[in-house]
Structure 1
Amino acid sequence: MPYDVTMCPGENCPIKQNCCRFTDEILGRQDFFGELPYNFITNSCQYFISNHPNENKIRFKAYEIWQQSGYPEDKSVEHWLQAENDLI
């Protein structure tokens, strides 16, 4: 995680395992929120950053894997799953 992104301590947050602010590696000195930013009334966090890759990134990575594998026609699901795993 870049230094300019404030990290989250997670404490009792129900979505912390899906948020980069909690799960990313801390590199050197890093700022943290003083209080948990999750809002239990609205069940949301305005500072949430998903740690799951979006579909376009997965598609591009799967395409690269397909090219590197010699363009097989029967491995699209395997390439997609490998791309997801590589990006997590």
Structure 2
Amino acid sequence: MVVDGAPSHRWTPLAVPDNMKLLRLPPYSLELNPAERLWEELREKVFANKVFDSLGAALAQAARGRNRLDRSSAQLQPLTGWQWISESS
């Protein structure tokens, strides 16, 4: 599992199962975090130049963007399937 520097990820008594390995990202490494790449894709392609009347409308737009990525592995692979992630297992 890839983890960033969030306090909950650095908690000393964190119990990690034997069948799991934590791969810690270096500090300030947004370019290495696949979740950041997904958010960037959503911001650029799903939320660009839009104004929402409510939080519910923004959440619905986020769900539409997520569903679009879920349906397209060809679009998702370059964003998250980096070699260093694939080789860390």
Pairwise same-fold verdict (TM > 0.5): no
Between structure 1 and structure 2, the one with the greater Rg is 1
State TM-score, norm by structure 1. Answer: 0.29
